[in-house]
């Protein structure tokens, strides 16, 4: 089996990843620390027919989410028709009043969506989260595949795998579709951002300029990139890797030192595209997640193809009653947290912790959702020379250009702790390549 040749190169691939600086950074106790994202060479394999099903469901979901964001910042029909409660919108930390009435170029809000899924032991796929603000992670399987091809070319010559090297092409197509005229840039907070490797890698692969806020200037209602010689070049699209609040100190957080003054003003006028559009956080709030199946029916008139994990909103009395009755069987999530933080399993709390948490839940029911614990399908990884099962998820990437585009790959993250369901890199997880078999 040719794949065994690839497995033997696991250490080589990890050494190359380290040499190329494939790292992520985290802040802990106000200290920035970079660490490697461990790679496991046993791929997650998805059959062509199964991925076609996922692709159809992912396109449907992201189209509905785009329509939802557009509606929320314009007509608000979904609120008037009582599909989503008004308080869920305006209480969301991702809702931005500054975005009211603002239409981005071509009407696209979520240009790059990272949709997190898990496959249960029943073989069904469940959506865990929608990431529509600044989703990261595509660069890791891109470079891992490149290094695996280099380490074990026979594996890829004799296995029918969809080529994942077209992500940069899909991203460029997406950026070009909304470009208002001028250069495309990738806006990074800088070297000490947790995903800086990805920013630089995607800039290299797409041919976009990698810039910080100090290299961009708003003048005469247009955005300019200041090149190495001091010359000003027009910019038509900004793939921003900066959170909403730091984008523009004149419109959002006034203390931001990494944003561009008046950037949002010219975005409002349609003179530059921002990918993703500010204000998208209203749609990836974990509380709003509960309503996505209803959005699909409301905006598209279709039944959802992919399903949410069974979810309960403690704000509703019947859901609160269920959560309290089945507390030990559920996972509780803070809707404003990300990266694996703010996730607690009822079964792992002490008696006092449960009492304290339930009191908090009753005081702040909008702050949390509760979900049934999906029994993930175990995936093998190599550890100390042998195969061992670990929990894993899949981040699928959907890009919205003139049509939704689903990348035939994805980021498979796994837990290195045999007793944990948390797979995030910031929580010590590793990653795998995702092989989508071709027909």
- pLDDT number for residue 387: 87
**Residue 112 near residue 276 (C-beta atoms within 8 A):** yes
Please report, in tens digits, the pLDDT of each residue of the chain (439 residues total): 455 678 777 888 888 888 887 876 665 666 666 777 889 999 999 999 999 999 999 999 999 999 999 999 999 999 999 999 998 899 888 999 999 999 999 999 999 999 999 999 889 999 999 999 999 999 999 999 999 999 888 888 888 999 999 999 999 999 999 999 999 999 999 987 878 899 999 999 999 999 999 999 999 999 999 988 889 999 999 999 999 999 999 999 999 999 999 999 999 999 999 999 999 999 988 889 999 999 999 999 999 999 999 999 999 999 999 999 999 999 999 987 766 677 899 998 999 999 999 999 999 998 999 999 888 888 988 887 788 888 899 999 999 999 999 999 999 999 877 666 665 555 567 899 999 998 6
- pLDDT number for residue 158: 82
Cα 45 versus chain centre, distance: 21
**Residue 108 near residue 134 (C-beta atoms within 8 A):** no
- pLDDT number for residue 19: 86
- In whole angstroms, what is the distance from residue 266 CA to residue 244 CA? 15
Q: What is the pTM of this model?
A: 0.93
- pLDDT number for residue 426: 55
Rounded to 10 degrees, the C-alpha dihedral 170/175/179/185 comes to -140
- pLDDT number for residue 377: 85
- pLDDT number for residue 1: 46
What is 157-215 written as a DSSP string? HSS-B---TTHHHHHHHHHHHH--SSEEEEE---TTSTTHHHHHHHHHHHTPEEE-GGG
Best CA proximity match to 396, nearest among 292, 335, 306: 306
- pLDDT number for residue 18: 86
Best CA proximity match to 58, nearest among 373, 310, 410: 410
């Amino acid at each position: 089996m040719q794949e065994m040749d690839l497995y033997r190169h696991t250490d080589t691939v990890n050494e190359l990843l380290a040499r190329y600086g494939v790292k992520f950074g985290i802040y802990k106790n106000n200290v920035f620390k970079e660490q490697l994202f461990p790679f496991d060479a046993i791929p997650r394999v998805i059959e062509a027919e199964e991925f076609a099903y996922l692709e159809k469901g992912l396109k449907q979901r992201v189209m509905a989410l785009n329509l939802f964001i557009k509606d929320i910042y314009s007509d608000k029909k979904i609120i008037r028709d009582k599909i989503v409660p008004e308080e869920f919108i305006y209480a969301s930390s991702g809702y931005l009043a500054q975005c009211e009435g603002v239409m981005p170029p071509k009407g696209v809000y979520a240009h790059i969506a990272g949709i997190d899924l898990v496959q249960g032991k029943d073989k069904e796929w469940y959506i865990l989260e929608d990431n529509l603000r600044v989703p990261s992670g595509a660069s890791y399987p891109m470079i891992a595949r490149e290094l695996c091809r280099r380490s074990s070319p026979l594996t890829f010559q004799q296995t029918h795998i969809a080529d994942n090297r077209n992500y940069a092409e899909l991203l460029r197509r997406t950026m070009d579709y909304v470009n208002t005229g001028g250069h495309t840039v990738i806006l990074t907070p800088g070297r000490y951002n947790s995903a800086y490797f990805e920013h630089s890698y995607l800039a290299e692969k797409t041919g976009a300029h990698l810039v910080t806020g100090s290299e961009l200037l708003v003048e005469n209602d247009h955005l300019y990139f200041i090149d190495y010689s001091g010359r000003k070049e027009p910019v038509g699209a900004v793939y921003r890797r900066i959170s909403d609040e730091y984008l523009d100190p004149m419109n959002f957080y006034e203390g931001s030192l990494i944003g561009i003054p008046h950037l949002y003003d010219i975005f409002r006028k349609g003179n530059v595209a921002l990918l993703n559009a500010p204000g998208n956080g209203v749609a990836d709030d974990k509380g709003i997640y509960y309503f996505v199946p209803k959005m699909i029916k409301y905006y598209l008139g279709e039944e959802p193809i992919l399903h949410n994990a069974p979810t309960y909103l403690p704000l509703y009395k019947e859901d609160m009653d269920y959560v309290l009755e089945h507390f030990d069987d559920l996972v509780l999530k803070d809707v404003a947290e990300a990266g694996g933080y703010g996730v607690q399993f009822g079964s792992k709390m002490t008696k006092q912790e449960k009492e304290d948490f339930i009191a908090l839940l009753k005081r702040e029911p909008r702050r949390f959702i509760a979900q049934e614990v999906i029994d993930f399908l175990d995936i093998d990884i190599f550890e100390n020379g042998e195969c061992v099962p670990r929990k894993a998820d899949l981040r699928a990437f959907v890009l919205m250009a003139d049509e939704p585009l689903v990348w035939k790959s994805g980021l498979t993250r796994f837990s290195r702790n045999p007793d944990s369901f948390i797979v995030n890199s910031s929580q010590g997880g590793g990653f795998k390549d995702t092989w989508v078999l071709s027909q």
